[in-house]
Amino acid sequence: PIYSVNQRVAVFSAAGALINVCGQRGFTSVGDFNWPRGVAVDPTTGNYWVADTKQSDLQTLKPINSPPSFPGCNPGTEFATLGTALGDVDYPYSIAIANGYAWVADTKNNRLESWNVSTQAAVATYGTKGGGTGQLSTPAGVGIDPVTGNLFVADSLNNRVVELSVSNGKVTGWVKAFTSGFNAPYGAASNGHGLLAVADR
């Protein structure tokens, strides 16, 4: 899990035992965080991808074991910068990884951004500010259906969750929007068997 105000990532065993923590408040090195809010694991390498929200960057950490090779961390890379171009982010809130791509809720840019996990190269963005089809307003959470590969976006200020079809790191279609009584949803996760869980903030 992510501990935003503690400025760190904590790793637990399947039994719930704390293995290690990584991170400190800072602005210059991998493992320096400023309110990290999202984390995802690359199933191929075991690396962690972290949305370092207030620093407006992304970081990767190598698998954290005990003991670590760096106090609390096993350093990876730091990339992405504050901005609006491809490869830039502004207050990224969450990350989901599947099929070789990382999907980032680029929250203050009102869009999604995808990254090739193996090369860490930005691939595409999707969305403009608004409430229509193809538009988002402060997207806060992303989740991936493990069966269909579709992407679910907690489109918080539009009070909806949007389902998108994706392929090769790009959005290929708008599937549907779930709008039943939400008030600023911040997270969405599919179990792959037809059920969608929403963090309805």
At 12, is the pLDDT very low, low, confident or very high (cuts 50, 70, 90)?
confident
Q: Which residue has the higher pLDDT, 66 or 126?
A: 126
The pLDDT of residue 31: 73
Q: Does residue 102 or residue 4 have the better pLDDT?
A: 102
Q: What is the mean pLDDT of the chain?
A: 90
Work out the average pLDDT over 18-35.
79
In the predicted model, is pLDDT for residue 62 greater than 90?
A: no
Short-list 93, 14, 2, CA closest to 48: 2
**b (16+ CB within 10 A) / e for 129-138:** eeeeeeebbb
Tens of pLDDT, residues 157-184: 999 999 999 999 999 999 999 998 999 9
Which token pair is 146? Answer: 């493990």
| Residue matched to tokens 């909806």 | 160
> Measured between alpha carbons, how far is residue 90 from residues 46, 65, 113 in Å?
26, 31, 11
Q: How confident is the model at residue 84 (pLDDT cuts 50, 70, 90)?
A: very high
Q: Is the pLDDT of residue 2 over 60?
A: no
CB-count exposure of residue 93 (10 Å: 0-12, 13-18, 19+): buried
- CA 56 – CA 149 distance, rounded (Å): 27
State the pLDDT at residue 21: 82
Q: Judge contact between 40 and 102, C-beta under 8 A.
A: yes
Residue 29, pLDDT > 80, answer: no
Q: What is the pTM of this model?
A: 0.90
Q: How many CB atoms lie within 10 A of CB 50?
A: 28
Q: What is the pLDDT of residues 118-154, one digit of tens each?
A: 999 999 999 999 999 999 999 999 999 999 999 999 9
Alpha carbon distances (Å) from 132 to 11, 158, 175? 39, 9, 13
